[in-house]
Structure formats: C-alpha cells, structure tokens
Amino acid sequence: MQHYHFDTLIIGSGLAGLTLALNLAQSQKVAIITKRTLHDSSSIWAQGGIAAVLSMEDSSDTHMRDTLVAGAGLCDETITRYVVENGPQAIKWLISQGVSFTRDNNSETGYHLTQEGGHSVRRVIHTKDATGKAVQLTLSKKICAHPNITMLEHHIAVDLITSSKLPYHTDKHHSRCYGAYVLDIKADKIHTIAAHNTVLATGGAGKVYLYTTNPDTATGDGIAMGWRAGCRVANMEFIQFHPTCLYHPHAKSFLISEAVRGEGGLLKLPNGERFMPRHDERAELAPRDIVARAIDFEMKKRGLDCVYLDISHKSADFLKQHFPTIYARCHELGIDITRQPIPVVPAAHYTCGGIVTDQNGKTDLDNLYAIGETAHTGLHGANRLASNSLLECLVFGQAAAQDILNQAPTPFITLPKWDESRVTDADEEIVISHNWDELRRFMWSYVGIVRTNKRLQRAQHRINLLHEEINEYYTNFRVTGDLLELRNLVTTADLIVQSAMLRHESRGLHYSRDYPDSLPTAQNTILRRQNSN
C-alpha cells in the first residue's frame, strides 16, 4: 500500500473537478482520481450547452428569473445571482482554454445561442450537440500536460479520512477531512492519500434508477461518502427526469437534447397528435419536470411504451448541422430524424440535491469541499433549469479554487493505514449484481416521477434489507469497485426516500398523489446524520 501526499485531492473527473484542478495547479500539487478514465463522466455526455448571459437581449435579472421559476420557490436567490453574474466570465475562461463553441457570424456575440425549456430567451452557448464532449476533451489535454497534476485513473474512493477515524481524536463536535482511502482497481490495493484539502466532485446518482441518461459511473459516491463523514445533505427528493431519452433496445442511456425542442421539436402520440398544449401553455418549452410528468401521464393513461419527438418538419441540412450526434446515432439505429419522429421516454437525469455547501463549495467538515452535481448549493431549487448544470460546475470550481488558495495549508499528520486483516475474499459476487438490479428496479417503480406514501414505504423496507446485507458483506470481505458502488447507491437511495417521505406536498420534481398541492411556504429538506463514521 502506498501513502500519497497532495495539496488538494479531487475525487471525480467531470467539468467541476477539471475546472478546479486547472485553477489550482499553478501553485499546488493536485491529484485527480477517477473510477475509469479521465473521459468517463456525466459532463462529457452533456449535449445541449451552457446557459449564460451573453447577448444584449438578455440580462442577469432575466436569467435569474427563469432559474427561480424553474426552481419552484426553493432556489437560494443570493447563490442564484452569484452564479448567473459569474456566467459570462466562466464562458470567457473556457474560450481562453481553447473550447470552440459553434459560431454564428450574424449574431452580435459571434456565437450561436440556442433556447431550451424554461428559458425566455436564447442564451445557451454550445458546440453543436456535443458541448460536454468538446469542453471535457479540451480541458483534459491541459490536465494531462500539466506537471503539477497527477491523474490516477481506475481508482475509486473507499471513504474519507476524517477526525473520527484518527485514534487520538477527542473533539466530537469538530471534524476535519485529511484525505481518503482509495482503491486502485487494477492493482487491487487500497492506498492512503493525504491532502490539505479534499474535494468531492463525483457527479450525481442516476444509476440508482433502472432507466437513466447517466453513465455507469454515476453511483452517488461523493454524496454517500460526505453523508457517512457527517455532512448535511439536502433536497435529495428532487431527482430530475429528462423528458426525452431515446427509446430503443440498443440505445442505452442516449439523450435527445432539450435543444431539439428548443429548435421546434414537437412531442406527439403514436397517432401524430400533439399533447403538450393540454398540459402547459408553454407546451414543449415548459420546464423539464412538467414535460416529464406529461409524458409519464400520457404513457400510463394510454398504455404506451413511448411517445415521439418530431422535428422532421425542419430541413435535413438544418438537422445535420445542428444535431450531428443525434442524427448519426439515430441513423445507426434505423431512425431517419429528417423523415421520422424519434421514440422517447423519460429517464433519471440529474440529482438536484446533495451535500450542503456554501458559496465557495465548503461543506460542514473543515478542509472538505463538494462541487458540481454532488453538491447542494441552492442554485437549482426543486428543479434545475436546463443547461445551468455545466455553468454551476464552472462557477463553483473557480470559487472553490480561490477559497483553497486563500487558505494557509494545514500540516500533514500520520494517517492510519487501511486495515483489512480481518476480511477474506468474497465467496459469491452474484450477491452484488442481484442487489444492484433489485435496487434500481424498485427505485424506478416506487420512487419515480409520480410517488405515493405506500410506494415510498415499500422502497424504504427494501432499502433497509439491502443495507443489512451490504454492510455485512462490506464488513467481512475485501472491497471491490462493484461493492463500493453498490454501497454508495443504497446509501443514496435511502437519502432520496427519506427526503421524499419528509416532503408532504408536491413541488418541482417531487410529485406525490397523497399531497398533490404545494404548501404556502417553500422549505428545504435537510438531513443530518447523528453519528458519522
């Protein structure tokens, strides 16, 4: 087992983590650990773009108002204004790093801006329909070339090393993070990584559901580790279901961008009839929670496997130019979007809740930060506005970097090594895959787009049983990447269900048949762990 020392340890390789690393590396030794490779994150899958105030017809007040409307009364207005006002600077930083956004010489900005659901003007800057990929690949090249950044691929964090894990810890009311235990998946060894500051940037928890637009890495690791370490967690009931995931047996997790509706795509029933105008006056451009619930309603009412998104009324040249990735993927599957509608279904897409942080990404533990989808900053409220997620990654990645650089580093101390002297190799790995499958199926059935008290109680009962099995497994056998992900998924699922059971109303992404109305006053759901370990 190796013992590493870094100024800052970043767990996760999405846009938030890479932004932070590049802003620290001029004066710090930084490590990034990622479960697979540098390019495996939700950020690289992002199609639509980044929302920011870039044109004269837009304003910070307008962007803020759209965000607050989508957030259904739960956005933190101070945080929202901070993010919106720092948006243009964040885009300029990306351009300075070499990101090539789609140009439009007829535009005052010189760039093509698109409009998405919930936005009142065109403000989403993009690189065709593969913005996340363009941004991630550009920043990744700089990460790999930087002498002060160490990339540890195929490494997964086991747990944070906090004061409570130290044999000489005495202050039970004050906790600090000193680094993390990290499993080198290929070498099958656990390393102790010490750091002055540790940052959770692991993304969301979409894989807790059977159908999701997220990559396989989105297993709620940072949220679960932060919770076990004693951090507060907020608003986990607000899971955003993207309305339009491609419905095809060979199209795992392929997203049909919000921008397709922004450019005129229409949602239709199998008979060609539009249905969104019946559900909301904004029709296809309503916020995601409304569109997803409308699709779910129509599918259940009519017994449909999917609905259809039709943009074939646009010219073939327009579609190939604006949506080359979507066109190519659909074409591979025998769907010609220039002539045919696209079969779509809702799928779990974004975790609006997470670890509670301040404006600089700081958590309840000293020297521990959380940024990106892992964090609850107060920006998204009860429903994230389209294309505000990458913006949040950029703004809080930069804010956390500045806060870290302003601190005097704490001295390194001797950390206990990982103890596996009393464990053995697992006898049956099949237990993990069965539990993983069971969890994702009952979460989809009982804690999905529409919820009831009875469904949530059923989910809670099953989660309790899984917790017992997995904890026994974790205690007695050597850890593996699959076991760690399952452990984190069950913890995250528990947080989602606990939060949902505490909200006795319908608001934003949380819709309950038992409490169909919204309460007069919007309040966050904040969970506090009694005993951290």
Q: Mean pLDDT over all residues of the chain? A: 93
- Extract the tokens encoding 296: 């779910």
Name the band, by pLDDT with cuts 50, 70 and 90, for residue 170.
low
Highest mean pLDDT range out of 93-97, 187-191, 428-432? Answer: 93-97
Which residue from 117, 276, 122, 212 is spatially nearest to 441, judged by alpha carbons?
A: 212
Q: What pLDDT, on a 0 to 100 scale, did the predictor assign at position 428?
A: 66
Residues of each domain in the chain carrying CATH 3.50.50.60: 3-237+352-405
Name the band, by pLDDT with cuts 50, 70 and 90, for residue 495.
very high
The larger pLDDT score, comparing residue 384 to residue 532, is at 384
Residues of each domain in the chain carrying CATH 1.20.58.100: 430-527
Q: What pLDDT, on a 0 to 100 scale, did the predictor assign at position 427?
A: 67
Residues of each domain in the chain carrying CATH 3.90.700.10: 242-349
Q: What single-letter amino acid sits at 75?
A: C
CATH 3.50.50.60 assigned to domain 430-527? The reply is: no
Give 325-374 pLDDT, tens digit per residue. 999 999 999 999 999 999 999 999 999 999 999 999 999 999 999 999 99
Residue 242 has pLDDT above 60, yes or no: yes
DSSP 75: S
Which residue from 144, 121, 134 is spatially nearest to 60, judged by alpha carbons?
A: 121
The larger pLDDT score, comparing residue 167 to residue 111, is at 111
Cα distance between residue 59 and residue 97, in whole Å: 25
User: What SS3 string covers 349-387?
Assistant: EEECCEEECCCCCECCCECEEECHHHEECCCCCCCCCCC
Residue 256 has pLDDT above 60, yes or no: yes
Cα distance between residue 56 and residue 87, in whole Å: 15
Cα distance between residue 292 and residue 323, in whole Å: 22
Cα distance between residue 228 and residue 389, in whole Å: 25
DSSP 168: T
Angle, to 10 degrees, between the axis of helix 481-502 and the axis of helix 430-446?
20
**Could you tell me if 181 and 199 are in contact, meaning their C-beta atoms sit under 8 angstroms apart?**
no
H-helix or E-strand containing 28? Answer: none
CATH topology of domain 242-349: Flavocytochrome C3; Chain A, domain 1 (3.90.700)
DSSP helix/strand/coil, 517: coil
Question: Position of tokens 């259809």?
Answer: 308
**Could you tell me if 186 and 450 are in contact, meaning their C-beta atoms sit under 8 angstroms apart?**
no
Q: What pLDDT, on a 0 to 100 scale, did the predictor assign at position 346?
A: 94
H-helix or E-strand containing 162? Answer: strand 155-162
**Average pLDDT over every residue of 295-303:** 91
Catalytic residue among 176, 261, 288, 507: 288
Residue 484 has pLDDT above 50, yes or no: yes
DSSP helix/strand/coil, 358: coil
**Average pLDDT over every residue of 262-272:** 96
CA distances from 72 to 106, 229, 270, 294 (A): 36, 30, 32, 17
**Could you tell me if 149 and 141 are in contact, meaning their C-beta atoms sit under 8 angstroms apart?**
no
Name the band, by pLDDT with cuts 50, 70 and 90, for residue 533.
very low
Residue 171 has pLDDT above 70, yes or no: no
142 CB-near residues (< 8 Å, 6+ apart): 22, 97, 98
Residue 5 has pLDDT above 90, yes or no: yes
Give 448-467 pLDDT, tens digit per residue. 999 999 999 999 999 999 99
Residue 61 has pLDDT above 50, yes or no: yes
CA distances from 264 to 57, 78, 339, 528 (A): 21, 34, 15, 44
Mention the CATH class of domain 3-237+352-405.
alpha beta
Q: What pLDDT, on a 0 to 100 scale, did the predictor assign at position 169?
A: 63
26 CB-near residues (< 8 Å, 6+ apart): 148
Mark whether 422 is an active-site residue: no
Cα distance between residue 477 and residue 479, in whole Å: 6
In this structure, the dihedral spanned by the alpha carbons of residues 226, 384, 234 and 399, taken in order and rounded to 10 degrees, is: 50
Cα distance between residue 517 and residue 506, in whole Å: 5
Cα distance between residue 213 and residue 47, in whole Å: 11
Residue 195 has pLDDT above 70, yes or no: yes
CA distances from 370 to 59, 465, 526 (A): 29, 29, 16
Residue 129 has pLDDT above 80, yes or no: yes
DSSP string, 233-282: EE-TT-EEEEEEEE--TT-TT-B--HHHHHTT-EEE-TTS-B-HHHH-TT
Q: What pLDDT, on a 0 to 100 scale, did the predictor assign at position 473?
A: 87
Highest mean pLDDT range out of 9-18, 124-133, 429-438? Answer: 9-18
Name the band, by pLDDT with cuts 50, 70 and 90, for residue 172.
low
- Extract the tokens encoding 184: 């080198």
Angle, vertex CA 60, rays to CA 58 and CA 62, nearest 5: 60
CB contact burial 409-419 (16+ within 10 A = b; e otherwise): eeeeeebeebe
Which residue from 47, 39, 35, 37 is spatially nearest to 139, judged by alpha carbons?
A: 39
- Extract the tokens encoding 467: 């917790």
Residue 59 has pLDDT above 70, yes or no: yes
Name the band, by pLDDT with cuts 50, 70 and 90, for residue 173.
low
Cα distance between residue 167 and residue 270, in whole Å: 64
DSSP string, 430-475: HHHHHHHHHHHHHHHHHSSSSB-HHHHHHHHHHHHHHHHHHHHHHH
* Residues linked to residue 200 through DSSP beta bridges, in sequence order: 11, 370
Residue 81 falls in which region: left (phi positive, over 0), alpha (psi -120 to 50) or beta? alpha
CB contact burial 154-166 (16+ within 10 A = b; e otherwise): bbbbbbbbbbbbe
